[in-house]
Amino acid sequence: MTDFDFIALGEQDFPAGQSTTNRELLSELPIGCANLEPLDDSSPALPAYKIFEQSGVKIGITSVISPQNHELGSFEGYRLTDWQIALGETLDELEAAGCEVLILLSHLGIPGEVEAAHSFPRLDLIVGGHSGLLRKQVELGEGVPIVWAGRLGRYVGLAQLSLAAEDRGSLVNFELTPVDSDLTGRDAGIRALVQAYEESRYRAWLANDYQPRGEKRWDTNEQCGRCHRDEYYAWKESDHAGAYAALEERGEHINMECLACHTVGFPEDGGFASMERTPGLADVGCVTCHDTPAGHPRRTMPAQITAETCTVCHEEGRDDEFNFETDLALIHH
């Protein structure tokens, strides 16, 4: 069914619990986790690790998940145990089995990956997940290489480890290759399946989870423009004002990952819902960038724009060419 040797789980892989399809996937795919245990016989047990051999060298690979990074109910029928205890025991087993190269697929988040490198220096490589961090350079946590490849499968990472006796397990090279975003466009059937999935996900959120009001204030640009006329007209001429239309042109206006950066407040309560319900919150609006407190305009002012404001959306993997100093000048207000 797959050419993968070992697949790690994340907290969003089976958010609906154990459907028949999910149980089949757990049984058929080489999915494993050292600290995810079934509560009873109705849930298939997952292997803690996989051992495979390359050029006469045994390689052990395992994965762990942090309890802080999983959503309640994501792993119905299972319980998460202490990842440090589970990882320590698993590495002992792998070494006892003769493994000379040890790899961890981590869903711990950045602090957990750094902690794993500190606590388990016998690891040869940590592949980090959950955070969505993208780094084209290797990070060294206590001497253990840590690599991240971002989110949503936009990149494929290639980490090459030496199997030579003198430096066995050392990282020789790491590369990130961007996946052609046009891949699904080349096959009409695949594209239709992807769009059907995205639409069903979006419609389910709209029907079951969207709340028209929340604690945060999401003003429309027309509301801001009543006082800030020059800024409003400058915004109208910017690319930000066409952010939602750009999604429509690509057929991605029902893609929840895209809507988060192309509308105001999505998917938070009171934020963008749809063009039918909240047309004034389409596009990248004023309050997307200017965090406007409830007391504005009389008592408080919006927060200042920083590089961190912009890189929420213009991050590596989404906009590799973004430069805060030069691109900010394109917003003429």
Residue 152: which CATH number? 3.60.21.10
Q: Is residue 160 part of a domain?
A: yes
- Choosing from 136, 161, 178, the residue where a domain stops is 178
- pTM greater than 0.85: no
Whether residues 216 and 319 share a domain: the answer is yes
The CA-based angle 236-255-292, given to 5 degrees, is 45
Tell me which residue range forms the domain holding 249.
Answer: 183-328
**Which is nearest to 93 in space by CA: 51, 127, 129?**
51
Evaluate whether residue 197 is within a structural domain: yes
Q: Provide the pLDDT for residue 142.
A: 67
Residue 205 to residue 251: CA distance in whole angstroms? 18
DSSP 134: B
Looking at the fold, whether 187 and 267 belong to one and the same domain comes out as yes
For residue 292, is it within any domain?
Answer: yes
Q: How far apart are CA 10 and CA 33, in angstroms?
A: 10
Q: Are residues 113 and 245 in the same domain?
A: no
Q: Is 153 part of any domain?
A: yes
Distance CA(273)–CA(264), nearest Å, equals: 9
Instruction: Flag residues of the chain having pLDDT under 70.
Output: 1-2, 11-26, 69-75, 132, 134, 136-137, 141-142, 151-154, 179-187, 190, 298-303, 316-317
Please, is 12 exposed, middle or buried when counting C-beta atoms within 10 Å of its C-beta (0-12, 13-18, 19+)?
exposed
Place of tokens 């780094």: 135
Domain check: are 280 and 309 in the same one?
A: yes
**Residue 24 Cα distances to 14, 28, 88, 159, 319, angstroms:** 12, 6, 29, 30, 37
Q: How far apart are CA 235 and CA 224, in angstroms?
A: 11
Which 8-state DSSP code applies to residue 179?
Answer: P
d(Cα 256, Cα 198) in Å, to the nearest integer? 7
In a domain, 196, yes or no: yes
Domains of the chain: total: 2
φ, ψ for residue 164 (rounded to 5)? -70, 150
Last residue of a domain, one of 178, 199, 224: 178
- Token pair in block for residue 65: 């998940």
In angstroms, the Cα distances linking 118 to 33, 65, 69, 100, 121 are 20, 17, 20, 19, 6
Cis amide leading into 267 (omega within 30) = yes
Taking alpha carbons only, the member of 135, 68, 58 closest to residue 102 is 58
Residues 120 and 209 reside in one and the same domain: no
44 and 170 share one domain = yes
Residue 7 located in a structural domain: no
Question: Of 117, 146, 178, which closes a domain?
Answer: 178
The structure tokens listed for 261 are 């950066």
Q: Interhelix angle for 110-119 vs 83-96, to 10°?
A: 50
What is residue 71's predicted lDDT score, i.e. its pLDDT?
54
Q: Are residues 144 and 207 in the same domain?
A: no
| Co-location of 168 and 195 in the same domain | no
119 inside domain: yes
CB atoms within 10 A of CB 174: 18
Looking at the fold, whether 320 and 191 belong to one and the same domain comes out as: yes
Domain shared by 233 and 322, yes or no: yes
Q: Do 257 and 155 sit in the same domain of this protein?
A: no
CATH number at residue 232: 1.10.1130.10
88 within domain boundaries: yes
* Token pair for 213: 């009001």
Instruction: Enter the DSSP assignment of 46.
Output: P
The verdict on 104 and 150 lying in the same domain is: yes
> What is the per-residue pLDDT for 162?
93
Residues 6+ apart with CB under 8 A from 80: 35, 36, 37, 65, 67, 70
Contact status, residue 107 vs residue 11, Cβ threshold 8 Å: yes
For residue 124, what pLDDT is reported?
95
Q: What are the CA-CA distances from residue 223 to residues 85, 105, 195, 232, 287 (Å)?
A: 55, 48, 34, 10, 11
- pLDDT score recorded for residue 14: 59
Tell me the per-residue pLDDT of 255-298, one tens digit each, with 9 for 90 and over. Answer: 888 899 999 999 999 999 999 999 999 999 998 888 777 777 76
Pair of tokens at residue 80: 């998460």
